[in-house]
Every structure is written in structure tokens, then in C-alpha cells.
Amino acid sequence: MTTKPAESVYLPNHSLEGTSSTQRRLSNIMGYGSVVITIAMIGVFLLWPMSKVMVKAFYNGESLTLDYFYLLFDNHLMVEAITNSLWVALATTIVCTIVALPLSVIGSKLEFFGKSFLMGLLLVPMVMPPFVGAIGFQRFFARYGTINLFLMNGKIIDSPIDWLADGNKFWAVVILGVMHLYPIMYLNLAAALANVDPSLEEMATTLGVKKWRQFKDIVWPLARPGYFAGAIIVFIWALTDLGTPLLIGYNDVIPVRIFNMVSDINENPMGFALVFLVIMLTVGFFLLSKSTLNGKKYDMMARGHVTSSVRKTGLFGTLVIYAVLLSVIAFALFPHISVLITSLSHKWFMTPLPLEYTTEHYMKVFSQDLPVHGIQNSLFLASMSTLTDVILGCLVAYVIVRKLIPFTNVLDSIVMIPLALPGIVLAFGYVITFSGTFLDPLNNPVPLLVIAYAIRRLPYMVRSASAGLQQTSVSLEEASATFGASHFYTLRKITMPLVLANVIAGGLLCFAYAMLDVSDSMILAMKDRFYPITKVIYSLYLEQGSGELVASALGMISMAILTICIMGASLILGKKMGELFKS
């Protein structure tokens, strides 16, 4: 009876030397293998196509030149577009922070009746194509749209208000951006706050530290990686968004200028110079955001849990929370409601709301080949690209955070490059680069669409996974290795469960935005049978007659599909999903 404990202690220690050597080899394989795959993928499917497009910005046909950049900054319209885009991105990020921060605190720290349902509704705007929301927004705020007709019928105003006048389009774009992007900020902040060790707050409370001081000095510094993970995505998305300003008619921004130049038959090289400038701007802002966290550690020995440090609210507190959440939900769902009404409308002319309602437009969605193929194509393309992002993104994030190789900051910057590119330009580069090859999108765009979706959403997965890993102490993995566990066993049993909420958050973002991609889908899908949902919606919208109504119905169906996916993931994962939604 006394020899077994001695053997059980001795045998693992005896194998530690060999295990350590194996661990190092596995770490090298994982680290350098992930780097090679990532750099090869980005090099072939991003840097190479973009180099072929951007060479026009530095080459005039005879020699290298910077003339196009001089012309760019001498053109006051271009300078104005650059300035406007930066202001749009900054305003959108600030307003998203103001909206998402209290929501994430409510979701992670308070328990109240109906929490699961209400916090789930907060994510609905994430699954609506932004340009579809813009269509509904325009319909309601048109000169003789629903809002003005309501006000005029109520004798509140005598003549219609031009809500979408040139002077108001900036804020229209910002508001629509906030409606669509605040869930990104909320998801990252909620995951970060959920992972804060509750014992730290309990200790501070025991010492008499006030709640606001606890948040300022303890909770916020520990949650800051999650905030920056969301903020940098929101900022760059708003900076490079094409669909919303294009449909609103706010043309004095960088993406619309690039779109107009690239689609120009003469291929104005100044447009490619503008693309290069956008890359420099977005990479520069990303590096600036990283410098604010440089040298600070955010890892903890323990992690937050679904039931830890959650306070139940009384009747008054619940009523206040309901007022806040319902106000945000009503604000965010306004474009969706307008699209829903449009999809059900019948006999709607010069009246605030339709005189009659019908489901005929939904029947047309399922009776026509084009929308049915669009739904099938998008589900397949989004699933394949998301699977690629989850596998590669988690590996890259682990390499970066655990510093398995030298120069991880360089790798991090390389992975962020896709965020800097307007999709319309990247897709155009694919057409130029791969036409006439086995990847020619004219013959079959599916491989390039999967690659384009995965490349452009990979940063979301890396940022979300990195935020979780930064909050997980490496000493937990070291302890596992000390007792003889293999590297992959440690990853599977210790590391991945601790960052699961962040992986799910990143995966949801990748799937949702791949499912509803606009720019890549519009350019690369050249034949009807390959159209994803967004291009089908756009094609239907351009049709005369009931095209806009059928497009609105398909937009609502696409939103329903993605909502079901999110709720299904919650049911499958059970309490583990609580760390993401805190429901």
C-alpha cells in the first residue's frame, strides 16, 4: 500500500525531461507552422492581389512615381473625404462605447427577470445586412416617408422635413453604423467583464472600496483588452464601410471615392493611391491602440463565472434596466422594423403605414430559384469560411499571446491587414489576379468567396481569442506541463475551455459578417446560381415593380436564419454560452 504512492509520484517526475523536450518541439511546430500557413494565405490571397492593384499608384507606365499621392493631397475633395471618414469612424466608436459599456455591465453583473431574452435581442442588429437597414431607414425618413407623414397628419408640422439633407447625412451614417456595430463592442466587453476574477471585487468591497472606484481601478483595467478588441474593429469597420454611405448618398468618404474610381472604366490610379493610404491609416491606428496596452499584464489565476459576482435586482432596479434595454433595442431595431413592414406591405402610397398587409412577397422568395440559391450559397460559404477562421485564428492568437516565436508583434500586424482594405478593392484585385486561372471567379467563384470571407474576418477571430488568452494566466498551462500533460492535452482541457466564450464570440462575428458580406459578393459572384444572399437582395432591389418588396422579405429571412443560429449555439453550449451572453 505504501509503494503505489511512491511510484505514482516518481513516474511522472521521471518523464519530465523527455516531456519538456517534446513540449518544446510541439510548441515550435505549432508556432512556426501557424506562422507559415498564415503568411502564405495572406501573401497569396491578399498581398499579391493588392500589389497588382496598387502598383498603379506607384507606376505611371514608364517609371516609379509619387505623383498620384501629390495629386491626392492637392485635391480638396479627396482631403475632405479622408477627413470625413476619420470623423465617421471616431464618432461611431465613441457612440458605440457609450451604448455598449452600460449594457455589458448590466449583462455581466446583474440578474433580473427576462434577462436571457432581452440580452439576446441586443445582438439582433448584428445579423441584419447594413445596406438593407439603410433601405428601411431611407424609406421611413424620406421626404414623404413614414415619419414626415405621421407628423403632418398629426398637424405637428406643415411641410415635410428633409431628414436626409446633405448636412444630416453624416449623422445618418453614424447612427446606422452604431445600430449595426454596437453588438461587436458589447460582445467583447461582456466576455472581458465575465472573465474578471470576482474575488478581486469581493476583496475590495471588504476593504470598503466604493463600487465606482472598483470599476475604475480593478475591473476596467482587466477588461481593457476586450474593449480595445471591440473598439478597433468598430473603428476600422466604420472607416471602410461602403454600403451604408453609398445608399444614404454620403459620397464624400473614402470607401465611396474608391468605389467610384475602381469602377471607372479608366481605372483612375489616384484611387489605388487612396487604397494604399487607407492601409497605412488603419494599421497605424491599430498599432497606436496596442501601444496603450504595452507592458501591462491582464492575466488572472481565476476567471469569472456565470453565477459569480452577479447581484439580483429589486423591482425598481428591474424597471430601470427594462427601460434602458428596451430603449436601446427599440433604437437598434428601428431599421429592421421598417424593413419588416416593407416586406409585408400592400397598397402603400402616401400613407404613414401600408393600407393592407400580405405574405405574398415571402412566398415569392421560396418560389423563385434566385433567392433559394442565395440562401443555400450563403449558408455554405459562411460555414466554410468560419471553420477556417476558428482553426487558424485560435492558433495565431495562441502564438501571438504566448510568444511562441520571435517578432509576434509583426505577425499580429500582418493578421490585421485585411481590416484595412475595402472589400470592393480586394475583390477587384481577385478578378485581376485570378482571371484565366483555375480560380477564375467567372467560372466558379466559390473558392475565392470562401477565401475572401475567411481572410477578411480572420482579424475578428484573432482579436477575440487574443483577448481571452491575455486574461488566462500562462502559469495554469505551466502547471499542467509540470505534471506531465502533453501540450495538446493542456490546450484541449485547460486553455480552450477558459477562452471558449471569446472563441464563440469571434466565431459568431465571422459567421454573421461572412453570411452578410456585401463587397466581395457583389464583385466575385458573376452568375446567378452563385449569388449569395446580399447580391440576391441587391439584384431584387434593382428590379422594377415588387423587387424592393421581395428584397425586403429576403432580408428578413436572412436575419431570421442567423438569429436561429445564435440561439441554437446557446442551447447546445448551455451554461458555457453564459460567459458570452451572460444570460
3-state secondary structure 112-172: CCCHHHHHHHCCHHHHCCHHHHHHHHHHHHCCCCHHHHHHHHCCCCCCCCCCCCHHHHHHH
Return the pLDDT at 134.
76
Is position 9 within any domain?
no
Q: What pTM did the predictor assign?
A: 0.74
Residue type at position 576: K
Q: Are 42 and 419 in contact (CB under 8 A)?
A: no
Q: How far apart are CA 430 and CA 425, in angstroms?
A: 9
Return the pLDDT at 69.
86
Return the pLDDT at 310.
66
Is position 6 within any domain?
no
Return the pLDDT at 478.
72
Return the pLDDT at 80.
92
Is position 12 within any domain?
no
Domain residues for 200? Answer: 21-581
Is position 8 within any domain?
no
Q: How far apart are CA 370 and CA 77, in angstroms?
A: 40
Is position 379 within any domain?
yes
For the chain, 583 residues long, give each residue's pLDDT as a single digit of tens: 444 444 433 334 444 444 556 656 666 676 677 778 888 888 888 888 888 777 777 877 777 888 888 888 888 888 999 999 999 999 999 999 999 888 888 877 777 887 877 877 787 776 666 677 777 777 788 888 888 888 888 888 888 888 888 888 899 899 988 988 888 888 788 877 777 777 777 777 777 777 777 777 777 777 777 788 788 888 888 888 877 887 788 888 888 887 777 666 456 677 778 878 877 787 777 777 666 655 455 555 555 444 445 677 778 888 888 888 888 888 888 887 888 888 898 878 888 888 889 999 999 998 888 899 999 999 999 999 999 999 888 888 888 887 777 777 778 778 877 876 767 778 777 877 888 888 988 889 999 999 999 998 888 888 788 877 877 777 777 777 777 766 677 777 777 777 887 788 778 778 877 888 887 887 788 888 899 998 888 788 777 777 778 888 888 888 777 777 665 555 544 444 433 333 3
Q: Are 378 and 515 in contact (CB under 8 A)?
A: yes
Is position 452 within any domain?
yes
Return the pLDDT at 267.
60
Q: How far apart are CA 35 and CA 27, in angstroms?
A: 12
Element (H, E) at 311: strand 311-312
CATH label of the domain that carries residue 476 = 1.10.3720.10
**What is the residue-wise DSSP string for 405-422?**
SS-HHHHHHHHHGGGGS-
Exposed/middle/buried for residue 66 (C-beta within 10 Å: 0-12, 13-18, 19+): exposed
513: Cβ contacts below 8 Å, ≥ 6 apart:
457, 460
Count up the domains in the chain and report the number: 1
Is position 5 within any domain?
no
Exposed/middle/buried for residue 302 (C-beta within 10 Å: 0-12, 13-18, 19+): middle
Neighbours of 353 (CB within 10 A): 11
433: Cβ contacts below 8 Å, ≥ 6 apart:
48, 49, 52
Q: How far apart are CA 581 and CA 583, in angstroms?
A: 5
Is position 16 within any domain?
no
